[in-house]
C-alpha cells in the first residue's frame, strides 16, 4: 500500500471535520438513550440541521431498519 502523507493539497476538509468534531456512533446512541428515557420507545426519525457531511444521518439509518433521517443544509 502506498504511503499517504496528509497535506493541505490532499486534505479532505469534510473528512478532517468528521475526525475532529463528530463521533456519529456516540451521538446516535446518546440521542436514542435520551429519547427512550423520556418517551419509553425508540425514536425513528432524525432531523439534522446544518448537516455538513450528514454522517449522523447516515449512522441513524444504519442503526434500525425503520429509521428515517432528514438532513437539511440551512
Backbone phi, psi, residue 33, to 5°: -60, -45
Residue 1 has pLDDT above 70, yes or no: no
Q: Give the total number of structural domains in the chain.
A: 1
Structure confidence at residue 43 (pLDDT): 97
Q: Is residue 8 part of a domain?
A: no
Q: Does residue 4 carry a pLDDT above 70?
A: no
Determine the distance from the C-alpha atom of residue 16 to the mean position of all C-alpha atoms in its chain, rounded to a whole number: 14
Evaluate whether residue 4 is within a structural domain: no
The answer to whether residue 38 sits within a structural domain is yes
Closest C-alpha to 31, from 18, 44, 21: 44
Domain contains 15: no
The predicted model scores a pTM of 0.72
Please report whether residue 7 resides in a domain: no
Per-residue pLDDT of 6-60, as tens digits, reads 777 788 887 787 778 778 999 999 999 999 999 999 999 999 998 777 889 999 9
Instruction: Read off φ and ψ for residue 72, nearest 5 degrees.
Output: -115, 135
Task: Identify the bridge partners of residue 70 per DSSP, sorted by sequence position.
Answer: 47
Structural domain contains residue 59 = yes
Residue 12 lies in a domain: no
- At residue 46, the 3 state secondary structure works out as strand
| Rounded Cα distance, 1 and 41, in Å | 46
Domain hosting residue 45, numbered range: 21-72
Q: Is residue 13 part of a domain?
A: no
Amino acid at each position: 500500500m502506498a504511503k499517504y502523507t496528509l497535506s493541505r493539497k490532499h486534505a479532505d476538509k469534510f473528512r478532517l471535520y468528521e475526525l475532529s468534531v463528530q463521533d456519529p456512533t456516540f451521538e446516535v446512541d446518546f440521542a436514542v438513550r435520551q429519547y427512550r428515557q423520556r418517551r419509553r420507545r425508540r425514536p425513528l426519525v432524525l432531523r439534522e440541521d446544518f448537516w455538513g457531511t450528514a454522517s449522523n444521518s447516515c449512522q441513524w439509518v444504519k442503526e434500525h431498519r425503520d429509521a428515517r433521517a432528514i438532513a437539511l443544509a440551512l
